Homo-oligomer: A and B are copies of this chain.
Amino acid sequence: MRVLITGGGGFIGRRLAEALLRSGTVTVDGGAPQPIERITLFDSVAGAGHPQDERIEPVTGDITDRAAVEGVTARADVVWHLAAVVSAAAEADFDLGYRVNVDGTRTLLEALRGTGRRPRVVFASSFAVYGGDLPPVVGDEFHPVPQSSYGTQKAIGELLVADHSRKGFVDGRSLRLPTIVVRPGKANKAASSFASSIIREPLAGREVVCPVGRDTAIYILSPRRVTEALLRAMELPESAWGVHRTLPLPGITTTAGAMVEALQTVAGPAVAGRIRWEPDPAIQRIVETWPVGADARRARSLGFTDDGTFDAILLAHIEDELGGASAIAR
């Protein structure tokens, strides 16, 4: 089995590749696990942090370059499409966002269609597709009214994946991901970046600015659960999806303030004291257009799960990324 991960140089791409290497197999469409021959990590920037394994093939290229994309789709049986310009960057550069998030997705789907092999595709969409007048809990059948270009582009991506699937060009599945917390590495241009920074940076001994108010609610999922969800979306038989190719995922609702309280409880007041609260209206505005809860009934019935509590997310981060509580910079 030959795997392609677009945005494979990113954090989630790396976590997914590591999980696939550990199991050595990929399970698709309800079938038996199949051995992995190769995992192609396609990304716009050459990364240094790829898992060291002979099955890993990093490829640097532009997702809107049809020839480059065909070069990797020609050899792919299954695809995770994670490549994207993130939310605040897509809001700041309208043309770049459409080029990568819309044209790139279409280029990928057209290249996969061109193989004639009907490859399976899991597309990482986002709860940012929702916006405007939102109920406290978004149901599976609530309509997306995006209030950001990123959300618009992800909603268009979902529609493209669904139509290419309906026509039999690919077997596609889109997951609407909650905000992923805690991301390791540096802050990025996602408006949601703060939700990871306010945990990651103080734990590492660094001061950090929180650009939203303490009461700002967010709907989150851990890297562990997101990785599981991406694998599960590939694994489920096509019949489980029916006419719905897009699935809002379960998550938990918390606030910036509650996250920092949990941090203080686990790591102490000196660590929690490294956060400065300096609201940035531009970030606050984008974040407030997102839903703060979803019932995700269909996803739960298909076996997708959330983390239960923020404490569980925090402890998993300390274990996975710091190697344990002794590494906390108290």
A-side residues, CB < 8 A to B, are 94, 131-133, 141-147, 149, 152, 155-156, 159-160, 162-163, 166-167, 242-244, 246
Contacts and interface: CB of A to CB of B under 8 A. Distances in A.
Contact of A243 (B147, B242, B246): B147
Given A142-B141, A145-B162, A131 B243 contact: yes
A291 to B, nearest CB: 13
A157 to B, nearest CB: 10
A242 B133 CA distance: 10
Nearest to A143: B143
B167 A132 contact: no
Contacts of A94: 167
In the complex, the count of this chain's copies comes to 2
Contacts of A144: 143
Contact of A163 (B142, B143, B149, B163): B149
B163 A152 contact: yes
A133 B243 contact: yes
A278 B142 CA distance: 38
Given A131-B243, A132-B243, A163 B146 contact: yes
Nearest to A167: B94
Nearest to A97: B163
A94 B160 CA distance: 12
B132 A159 contact: no
Given A94-B167, A167-B94, A146 B132 contact: no
A155 B159 contact: yes
Contact of A167 (B143, B149, B159, B242): B149
Given A243-B131, A243-B133, A162 B146 contact: yes
A162 B143 CA distance: 14
Contacts of A159: 146, 152, 155-156, 159
Given A146-B163, A156-B156, 20 more contacts: A131-B243, A132-B243, A132-B244, A133-B242, A133-B243, A141-B142, A141-B143, A142-B143, A143-B143, A143-B144, A145-B246, A146-B162, A149-B167, A152-B160, A152-B162, A152-B163, A155-B159, A156-B159, A156-B160, A159-B159
